[in-house]
Amino acid sequence: MLDRLKTIHLLTGMIAGIFVLVSAGNVTRASAQDLYTVSGVHVDESADSATKARDAALASGQRVAFSRLISRLTSADSGASVGMPDQNTITNMVRDFGVSNEKTSSVRYIADMSVRFKADQVRRFLQNRNVPFAETTARKVLILPVFSDQGYTNLWDDPNPWRDAWNQVSGESGLVPVTLAVGDLDDIGTVSVDQAQAGDQAAIDKIGQRYGANVAVADASISGTGDAQAVDVSVTRYDASGSPQVFGVHENMAAGESVNDMLKRAASDVRSQLENSWKQASMIDYGAGGELMLFIPITGMDDWAGIESRLENLPVIKLMRVVAMSRREVQVDVEFAGTNDQFRVALAQQNLALQQIDQLWFVEPSGSNRLAKLMGNP
């Protein structure tokens, strides 16, 4: 083993002869701006004049957006302890905002808002209040919506009101992006409703690979009749890094609610539980931090550009400096928030694996054998 590492050890002493050195000014600040953007905030305010109504609506929209952002980043318990800061504090944390679907009258203002917050200032706000929060976006989750009603179980056929409900709550926002399969012939041939319910690992892995996602089977069953109906959902999330995670959701039909409304509420609850589970696993200890010199095997400059982009998408990375590179390897100095294990989890969400061999740290695409080739293994 040590013999195989000799060549790698020499990298630290041979950079000048092997690598093309990169300017120390090539420093990248990891961006998490998409995570700090809250869209779809509807405002509707009335006042003595159109100007006053608009001002009130924009201020209200910023407060709503801030509340949604805190809910996105924190657990329910810690988020509740934050409270609502005054308007000036919120305004100072807003980078910019946009409005659409504006409607105005002499005394009323209606619009939909999208608000971008300043990530650094929101972080500082939470850190000063000792509120733990998560910024690492999980790998996308593909939902397989199995629906059972009146003795019939369905995954791909129409109608599937459970799939329709997920169409309304899925999306890329939040810490756990959620998507649905297209439902074409390839999908139908990859995993059947029986395989989804039975947890057929091979079929589930195959469709997950097709969509570049982890898979969650959300099995919903309707019971009762008329206004006394209810839905029970059993969710099994399959993650390559560990055993399947199982949890359940139960919802009763509310007064005046349709079955579709109830199913949408159940889908929202499932997504919230997926988010909360991920938050608990990825909360960053911002009192800790580290710096690692990483060796990254590459196949070429295009490959490095893709890996670099993935690294830049990690909010836990504070600074990243390319120290040296060749056609086969890149050496990067990285400063990050949290512990080494938390950094490893964050990298895994970008399909990158962190490994330590002797005193050196390596990053390679998950499932690749680049490091083995670098070490001289066949």
Which pLDDT does position 242 carry in this prediction?
66
Which pLDDT does position 29 carry in this prediction?
35
**Of 91, 118, 114, nearest in space to 102 by CA:** 114
Which pLDDT does position 377 carry in this prediction?
56
- Contact between 19 and 370 under an 8 Å Cβ cutoff? The reply is no
Which pLDDT does position 106 carry in this prediction?
96
State the Cα angle at 226 between 221 and 227, rounded to 5°.
95
Q: What type of residue is 267?
A: A
SS3 92: helix
- Note the pTM of the prediction, 2 decimals: 0.74
State the Cα angle at 287 between 76 and 349, rounded to 5°.
65
- Nearby residues of 184 by Cβ (< 8 Å), 6 or more positions away: none
Kindly list the averaged pLDDT for each block of 10 residues, start to end, along the chain of length 378.
38 38 37 77 97 97 96 85 93 97 97 95 90 87 96 94 96 89 97 97 95 96 95 92 87 95 97 90 79 94 94 87 93 91 87 91 89 68
* Alpha-helical runs (H) found in 81-220: 87-93, 119-128, 161-169, 185-190, 193-198, 201-211
